[in-house]
Amino acid sequence: MLTNYGYCDGSGNYFITIDTDKCNACGACVEACPGKIFKVVDEDPNDPMNEDPTAIVVHEKKNKLNYECGPCKPSGDNPPTPPCVVACKKGAMSHSW
Amino acid sequence: MVEGKKQEFWRWAETNWVDPDIRWEGAEFITLGIDVGSVSSQAVIMVDGKMYAWGNMRTGSNSPNSARNALKFALEKTTLTEDKVHYCIGTGYGRVNVPMGDRTVTEIACHARGANFFYGSTVRTVLDVGGQDIKAIRCDEKGKVINFLMNDKCAAGTGRGMEVFSDLLSVPIGEVGERSYQIETEPLAVSSTCVVYAKSEATGLLRKGLSTNEVLAAYCSAMADRIYSLLERIGVEPEFAITGGMAKNKGVIGRLTKKMGLEPLKTSWDTQLAGAAGAALFGYALCHKGRGRK
């Protein structure tokens, strides 16, 4: 399942997409994110019939992605790929910006 | 000034229903789904996966009480009592505050499951326009979510925004859709869907001489625009279905349909019940898997 966390408002689209079919809940994104926006949970809250653990974006940060993800945005001195995307070896992570 | 109670134009009818042909005595599993939304609360009771009874009312200031009241309302016309229920799932914005809930499931999963039940297994895209958020969901033939996004950062283009407008223009909420089409030429959409800005823009339009119906049309098309931009993000695949209270508003849905070029499916069920129905179905499925109440 593609889970899109985030929002769109007047200033743009801010979505982080986690492909829960690819995610193996290794927790590398949790370590890599300086904003601490990820968490590994035992069961995907959006898929009650599935019992596999997965990474999610924590509820409190979901509506603040513009600010939380700002420091890692691929601009200026930042590398073109954000650290969470680099850390995810399964390629389950993507961003809307 | 006219004496008497002020008319609340935004208020919609609270309803409950029971299927008199279903007997709950001797049923294998009686499951309950309670959806405590930001604006409305629903309780759906299913007997072996079949719709038995439901209640739909406004959410109060206290979530646990809203859940209790919705359940009481759903049970009102039945002979069933709460202790006969085998499993209860809470969903919606206030799901953690459903006191009788055995577990919670997010409204995303529940709406997809509920839409699958209401509209049949051909549904691939579900749009839920709730009281304060919009959910766009893609699902498979079993009602399992495969892609979703939810915008709950701002209530622009949602049910509550429409309630504010019906009150501002003194048009009962049930008539908004109809009246937004009683116009000669379609006005430009209100430029902002933000409820606060749109409200001041509407006041400006009225002052300019636009009729009430034209202002309603301008707001309905602004909402359709916003909903469409969210749907575009996940991509629309037929068949397409709409759940939530906004599915009853022809003014928004008609304009959205025109933009998309795709007719939404129709149902005889109350579209506001989709979340609670999905929750009750999950309860039934979990009981069947042996993951019910211990």
ipTM of the complex: 0.82
Instruction: Compute φ and ψ for B236, nearest 5 degrees.
Output: -105, 130
Q: By the 8 A CB rule, do B43 and B17 touch?
A: no
What is residue B218's predicted lDDT score, i.e. its pLDDT? 94
Q: Is the dihedral of CA B64, B68, B70, B71 positive or negative?
A: positive
Q: Is A43 on the interface with B (CB under 8 A)?
A: no
Segments in chain B below pLDDT 70:
1-5, 294
**pLDDT score at B261:** 93
Contact call for B148 and A46, based on CB within 8 A: yes
Each residue of B231-287: pLDDT tens digit? 988 899 999 999 999 999 999 999 999 999 999 999 999 999 999 999 999 999 999
- What local confidence, expressed as pLDDT, does residue B3 receive? 57
Which among A4, A7, A48 has CB closest to B109? A48
Question: Which H helix or E strand runs over A17?
Answer: strand A12-19
Asked if the C-beta of A8 comes within 8 angstroms of chain B's C-beta atoms, the answer is yes
The answer to whether B148 contacts A2, with C-beta atoms less than 8 Å apart, is yes
Of B147, B233, B282, the CB nearest to A48: B282
What structural domains and CATH numbers belong to chain B?
15-114+273-288 (3.30.420.40), 123-264 (3.30.420.40)
pLDDT at B87: 95
Q: Provide φ and ψ at B243, rounded to 5°.
A: -120, 175
Could you tell me the CA-to-CA distances from B13 to B16, B52, B57, B59, B291 in Å, in that order? 10, 20, 8, 13, 37
The ranges assigned to domains in chain A are: 2-95
User: B69, B60 in Cβ contact below 8 A?
Assistant: yes
Backbone angles phi, psi at B17, to 5 degrees: -155, 150
Query: What is the torsional sign of CA B19, B22, B25, B26?
Result: negative
DSSP letters along B98-154, please?
Answer: -TT-SEE--HHHHHHHHHHHHH-TT--EEEEE-SS-EEEEEE-TTS-EEEEEEE-S-
Q: Residue B101 CB: number of other CB atoms within 10 A?
A: 22
Residue B70: closest CA among B85, B57, B82, B88: B57
Listed residue (A18, A9, A8, A11) closest to A38, CA to CA: A18
Query: Cβ separation of A1 and B148 shorter than 8 Å?
Result: yes
Cis peptide before B201 (omega within 30 of 0): no
Give tens-digit pLDDT for A26-44.
999 999 999 999 999 998 8
A54-57 and A93-95 as β-strands: parallel, antiparallel, unpaired?
unpaired
User: What residue of B is the nearest CA neighbor of A60?
Assistant: B153
pLDDT (tens digit, 9 = 90+) per residue, A57-69?
Answer: 998 999 899 899 9
pLDDT at position B294 is 67
Q: Which of B147, B153, B289 sits opposite A9 (nearest CB)?
A: B153
Within 8 A of A47 by CB-CB distance, chain B residues are: 109, 144-145
Residue B14 half-sphere exposure toward CB, CA atoms < 13 A? 19
Domain A2-95 has CATH 3.30.70: yes
Q: Select the more confidently predicted residue: B173 or A49.
A: B173
Between A and B, how many CB-CB pairs are < 8 A? 54
Using a CB–CB cutoff of 8 Å, tell me whether A65 touches chain B: no
- Report the residue of B138, B150, B192, B232 to disrupt the A interface, i.e. the one with the largest count of A CBs within 10 Å: B150
